[in-house]
């Protein structure tokens, strides 16, 4: 009975964190459910990340973000990293982890659904899935209680959302280059020079000395803000210091 109550409180709190309804919900000790979720979550992540032979920085960052969202302690983070590393090994079979997890959280449960969504999102960090990654996720979905059509529907929805985000990011960065009057293939050093050149032309402090109208000064302020935003966007996109 005590174990059941522990599991129930833990599952409620971790679900609230993972689905975003309460990302800072206090997480009680979840006993066996907590340990099984920790193991399955990060072993599967490690398996998916390594299936194409390489683990990217973005995959590690995503896994780290899930650790933070789950509210893991330092010891639990260390365990999660170990599970991730174990999952990366070619001879590691992650399916027993899923079998054990389902016994605790239940098929078709809210936590099972979130687990599947997180793994699909993790797999999409590199872009579209390869066949063997999709097969693995489909098998995991089946154990979690979701048939092939449900998995395909969820995957397609998340893939579409991922494509839209990437398109918007590319489009946003392209517009930022236009504001700075640069081509997307400009050298990194030219980014800073273009920013300083544009700011010297449109900065309101400079234009005040030119006795411009209030409306013109307002437009110049808006322009300088757009230039600053564009500069920060390009620097962020290229991962260079602003």
**pTM higher than 0.75, yes or no?**
no
CATH number at residue 229: 1.10.287
> How many helices (H) does the chain have, and how many strands (E)?
11, 0
Alpha carbons 207 and 219: distance in angstroms, whole number: 11
Residues 68 and 8 in one domain: yes
Q: Are residues 31 and 128 in the same domain?
A: yes
Give 198's contacts (C-beta < 8 A, 6+ positions apart). Answer: 179, 180, 181, 227
pLDDT value of residue 6 = 54
Backbone angles phi, psi at 28, to 5 degrees: -75, 170
Q: Which domain holds residue 90?
A: 2-146
Q: Are residues 13 and 114 in the same domain?
A: yes
123: left (phi over 0), alpha (psi -120 to 50) or beta: alpha
Average pLDDT score over residue span 182-211: 77
Kindly report, residue by residue over 42-86, the tens digit of the pLDDT: 999 999 999 988 898 889 999 999 999 999 999 999 999 999 999
Domain for residue 190, yes or no?
yes
Report the C-alpha dihedral over residues 89, 48, 56, 77, rounded to 10 degrees.
-70
* Inside any domain, residue 159: no
The CATH number of the domain holding residue 54 is: 1.10.3680
Question: Does residue 151 form part of some domain?
Answer: no
Cα separation, 43 vs 191, whole angstroms: 41
Greater pLDDT, 11 or 2: 11
Mean pLDDT value across residues 175-188: 83
Place of tokens 């090994």: 89
The contacts of residue 48 (CB under 8 Å, 6+ apart) are 87, 119, 122, 123, 133, 136, 137
Q: CA dihedral defined by 124, 86, 69, 19, rounded to 10 degrees?
A: 50
Q: Angle, to 10 degrees, between the axis of helix 57-69 and the axis of helix 31-50?
A: 170
Structure tokens, 19? 């689905």
Verify that 182 and 137 share a domain, yes or no: no
Give the pLDDT confidence of 93-120 residue by residue, as tens digits. Answer: 999 999 999 999 999 999 999 999 999 9
The total of structural domains in the chain comes to: 2
Q: Given 146, 181, 202, which residue is the final one in a domain?
A: 146
Asked whether residue 158 is assigned to any structural domain, the reply reads no
What is the sign of the dihedral through the CA atoms of 153, 110, 141 and 38? positive
């Amino acid at each position: 009975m005590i174990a059941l109550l522990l599991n129930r409180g833990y599952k409620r709190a971790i679900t609230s964190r993972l689905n975003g309804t309460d990302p800072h919900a206090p997480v009680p000790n979840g006993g066996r459910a907590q340990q099984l979720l920790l193991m399955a979550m990060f072993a599967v992540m490690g398996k998916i990340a390594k299936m194409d032979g390489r683990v990217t920085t973005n995959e590690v960052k995503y896994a780290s973000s899930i650790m933070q969202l789950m509210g893991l302690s330092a010891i639990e983070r260390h365990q999660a990293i170990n599970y991730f590393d174990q999952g990366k090994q070619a001879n590691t079979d992650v399916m027993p982890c899923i079998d054990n997890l389902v016994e605790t959280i239940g098929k078709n449960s809210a936590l099972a659904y979130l687990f599947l969504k997180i793994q699909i999102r993790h797999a999409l960090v590199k872009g579209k899935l390869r066949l063997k990654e999709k097969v693995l996720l489909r098998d995991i979905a089946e154990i979690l209680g979701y048939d092939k059509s449900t998995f395909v529907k969820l995957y397609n929805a998340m893939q579409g959302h991922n494509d839209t985000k990437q398109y918007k990011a590319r489009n946003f960065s392209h517009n930022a280059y236009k504001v700075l009057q640069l081509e997307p293939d400009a050298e990194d050093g030219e980014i800073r020079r273009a920013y300083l050149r544009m700011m010297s032309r449109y900065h309101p402090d400079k234009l005040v000395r030119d006795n411009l109208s209030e409306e013109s000064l307002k437009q110049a302020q808006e322009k300088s803000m757009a230039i600053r935003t564009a500069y920060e966007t390009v620097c962020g996109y290229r991962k260079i210091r602003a």
